[in-house]
Homo-oligomer: A and B are copies of this chain.
Amino acid sequence: MARVRLIDVAELAGVSMKTVSNVVHNYPHVAPALREKVQAAIDQLGYRPNLTARRLATGKTGMIALAIPEIDHPYFSELSRHIAEEATRRGYRVIIEQTLSDPVVERAVLSDREAGLVDGVIFHPVRMESLDIAKLDPGTPLVLLGEAAMPVMTDHVMIDNVSAALDATRHLVARGCRRIAFLGVIAADITGSTNQRLLGYQQGLLEAGVPLDPELVFTASEFTAEAGLRSVAEAIERGVRFDGVVCRDDRFAIGALKALHDSGRSVPADVSVVGWDNTFLAAYTSPTLTSVAPQKTAIAAAAFDLLEERIAGYRGVGRHMIVGHSLEVRESAPLAP
């Protein structure tokens, strides 16, 4: 069980360590005969390079950290998958840090007491603000996701939330909806994302000549389907009339569907519903859910593009990449007839 080292292989093959290293790395200028002999020694001993030592010597870890609020939130688990696959494609391993949206943990992600663990960090902040991030930025290559924070010097990937919310609203308007609600403002804590989506929603209404009605902005107590359900149920109870809902995310939309169903309203006949994130949930609700679909694959690819440039040494000002989105139309708000 004693670990086999490079030098053991070298001795068995009767060559220098470096030659063995060259074989392991497929360095081109190794004579075929030698290469074979060395390979035989490697196989015979079952040699595996020690990654830690390699890292210390090269200064590269081949790992990146992905810091997200919750690994089991459908949007983030799907995003993680894309990031993981892109990482594999590019030869990185991923270590996952769950922040639980806790500002303390988020801060720890950046100001971590250790270094040399990863080559870079992809971070989807929720609570930290631009200033915080700018202050703590430890110099490790960093790419931010989402809309919560976008410090000037840091790279950043997001979709155009305003225009996506506008698309969603237009879609409902085109279906003939005139009393369109927005579900997802969290009392006393409007995040950047929500704000932008709300903006797009309002633009959509203006554009359609529909007056804004504050009563139609439904606030929820927290980011859960349950809270979305309660919010919509209460609105119904208050007697608020509406024929469409743009939801801040799919979870809220699921809550909304349930509340509407419970109150005997039919979706989409009485009320059309649009979700956000196009998580796989959307395909399995009844009715299935029309949802704003960020291009997750593109987000992953863009994040890595930026990150790898940083890793390669880019030190300039932050680049802000806008990734595409679409509206995935399903039963809860089908195309206008």
**Interface residues of A, Cβ cutoff 8 Å to B:** 1, 3, 48-53, 55-56, 61, 63, 70-72, 74, 77-78, 80-81, 84-85, 88, 93-98, 112-117, 138-139, 225, 254-255, 257-258, 261, 280-281, 283-286
Distance (whole angstroms) from the CB of A291 to the closest CB of chain B: 15
Smallest CB gap from A3: residue in B: B115
> Do B71 and A81 have beta carbons less than 8 Å apart?
yes
State the CA gap A281–B225 with chains docked (Å): 10
Q: Can you list 5 A-B pairs with a CB-CB distance of less than 8 A?
A: A53-B116, A72-B77, A81-B98, A94-B96, A95-B95
Distance (whole angstroms) from the CB of A42 to the closest CB of chain B: 10
Distance (whole angstroms) from the CB of A193 to the closest CB of chain B: 21
State the CA gap A97–B94 with chains docked (Å): 8
Smallest CB gap from A115: residue in B: B48
Among A52, A114, A116, A281: residue with most chain B CB under 10 A:
A52
Smallest CB gap from A55: residue in B: B52
State the CA gap A330–B95 with chains docked (Å): 36
State the CA gap A113–B49 with chains docked (Å): 7
Name the prevailing secondary structure of the A interface residues.
mixed
> Do A95 and B281 have beta carbons less than 8 Å apart?
no
- Given A3-B115, A48-B113, A72-B74; 13 other pairs, CB 8 A cutoff: A3-B116, A48-B112, A49-B113, A49-B115, A51-B114, A52-B116, A71-B71, A80-B96, A96-B96, A225-B283, A254-B284, A284-B285, A285-B286
State the CA gap A48–B139 with chains docked (Å): 12
Smallest CB gap from A80: residue in B: B71
Distance (whole angstroms) from the CB of A113 to the closest CB of chain B: 6
Chain B contacts of A112 at CB under 8 A? 48
State the CA gap A81–B68 with chains docked (Å): 11
> Do B72 and A78 have beta carbons less than 8 Å apart?
yes
Distance (whole angstroms) from the CB of A196 to the closest CB of chain B: 25
State the CA gap A55–B50 with chains docked (Å): 11
Smallest CB gap from A261: residue in B: B286
Distance (whole angstroms) from the CB of A157 to the closest CB of chain B: 19
Which residue in B49, B98, B117 is a CB contact (below 8 Å) of A52? B117
Distance (whole angstroms) from the CB of A97 to the closest CB of chain B: 8
Distance (whole angstroms) from the CB of A100 to the closest CB of chain B: 9
Chain B contacts of A113 at CB under 8 A? 48-49
Among A55, A74, A138, A284: residue with most chain B CB under 10 A:
A284
Those 7 A-B pairs whose CB atoms lie nearest each other, nearest first: A77-B77, A48-B115, A50-B116, A72-B77, A72-B81, A52-B55, A51-B114
